[in-house]
Structure formats: C-alpha cells, structure tokens
C-alpha cells in the first residue's frame, strides 16, 4: 500500500471516523499535513482501496453539509497491519523526511511510544551509512551524488539521535499539545516544502 492508504488506516484504527475528517488532518494546516499533505480525492480513493481489501468497514453515517458521511472502523486485520507498519523502520534514507516523520507523528497522535521505532531506525541506517562511506565514485557527478548521500545519511542519524534524547513517552493526546519538543523536531527536520508527494521531491 502507499502512504495515503497507511495514513488513512492509521487514523481510522485509532478511532472510527469519516473521510472528510481524515482529509482535514492532511491539509497544509492540518495536524498531519505539516509532514505530508494528501488531497481529499486521494483520501477517498484510499478509503475505497482499504474497504476493498477488508482492512476497514463502514460502521454508520453522520450528517454533513452535503451527503451523509460514512463512518469507517478498522477491522482486526487492518489494526494488526497498521501496528506492524508503524513499528517498521523505513528502508531508504530519502524516506526519513516523509514516511518516518509521518509514522512518528501518527505514533505520538495515538499515544504510542516511538522510542523503539527510533532505535530500530538508527540500527537500520547504520549499515547503509557505512556502505555509502566506502563508495568509490567513477566520475565527477557520481562524486557529487555520493557526497549528497553521505551527508543525507549522517544528517538522518543525527536527527534520530537528537529526538531520542528528548525522552519521548506515551501520551494520550495529539502531537500538537502532548509532545511539543518532539513535534517541533518533526517539523524542523527539513525544509518546509509541502505537497501530495514526498516532501524532499521538488
């Protein structure tokens, strides 16, 4: 599944809700939109895919300004899948700025303790950083590219070390109020470019 599906599933697994409410979270000013913006049509398409996969089911309706809004709840397989996803480190350094930050924001939002994910992510990055450090460029551009990869890997490890020292603990409140230091770190880790794609893509 893609990041929109995982985001929707994580929000719905925390508490049954409708697509409009999820879309509000991923607007530029939304709680999750600070990390990753997802347009409303993409949210609704993700809901359809999750329902077809049996990971969420309709639970009722709620009146809205237009048509009634369908409330969805996560199924047992859906809840299990998103727990595994939230606890799994990302595979690439480039995904730290998008996938990992979103996982951390979602974990904090649901009152989880992200320290285990932070530790496992660092362990996963260490061999990648070592491999990049031993690279042998064959031309001028490859030298530039390798320097970028080394700097990115080093910055990612430094970021993980920094947020690990903040003493993150489980807190049953959204990320804005519950963990202000960590929330600030999530937003400040990179440039504030936003869009319905990976944030380091321009």
The two structure tokens encoding residue 139: 């031309």
Higher pLDDT, residue 6 or 184? 6
- Domain identity same for 81 and 118: no
Helix (H, G, I), strand (E, B) or coil at 5: helix
Query: pLDDT tens across 144-184, in order?
Result: 888 888 898 999 999 999 988 876 555 444 434 334 444 44
Query: pLDDT tens across 28-66, in order?
Result: 989 999 888 999 999 999 999 999 999 999 999 888 676
What whole-number distance in Å separates Cα of residue 106 and Cα of residue 102? 6
Q: Looking at residue 3, which CATH number applies to its domain?
A: 1.10.10.10
- Domain identity same for 46 and 10: yes
- On the question of pLDDT at 196 being above 80, the answer is no
Q: Is 161 contained in some domain?
A: yes
- Domain identity same for 106 and 154: yes
Task: Decide which of 63, 86, 109 is a domain's last residue.
Answer: 86
Q: Is 199 contained in some domain?
A: no
Contact 53, 45 (CB under 8 A): no
Count of CB atoms situated within 10 Å of the CB of 169: 12
Number of domains the chain is built from: 2
Give the residue numbers spanning the domain of 40: 1-86
Task: Decide which of 53, 68, 86 is a domain's last residue.
Answer: 86
Query: pLDDT tens across 93-143, in order?
Result: 989 988 999 999 999 998 889 999 999 999 999 998 888 777 677 778 888
- Domain identity same for 128 and 165: yes
Q: Is 200 contained in some domain?
A: no
């Amino acid at each position: 599944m893609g990041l929109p599906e995982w985001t929707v599933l994580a929000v719905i697994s925390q508490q049954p809700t409708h697509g409009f409410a999820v879309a509000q979270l991923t607007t530029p000013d939304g709680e999750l939109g600070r990390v990753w913006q997802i347009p409303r049509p993409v949210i609704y398409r993700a809901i359809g895919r999750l329902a077809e996969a049996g990971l969420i089911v309709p639970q009722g309706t709620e009146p809205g300004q237009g048509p009634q809004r369908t409330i969805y709840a996560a199924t047992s397989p859906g809840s299990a899948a998103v727990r595994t996803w939230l606890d799994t480190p990302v595979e690439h350094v480039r995904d730290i700025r998008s996938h990992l930050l979103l996982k951390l924001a979602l974990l904090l939002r649901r009152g989880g303790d992200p320290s285990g994910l932070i530790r496992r992510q660092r362990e996963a990055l260490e061999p990648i950083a070592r491999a990049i450090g031993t690279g042998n460029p064959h031309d001028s551009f490859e030298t530039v590219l390798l320097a970028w990869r080394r700097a990115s890997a080093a910055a990612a490890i430094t970021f993980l070390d920094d947020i690990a020292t903040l003493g993150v603990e489980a807190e049953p409140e959204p990320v804005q109020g519950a963990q202000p230091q960590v929330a600030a770190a999530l937003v400040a880790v990179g440039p504030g470019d936003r869009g319905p794609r990976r944030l380091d893509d321009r």
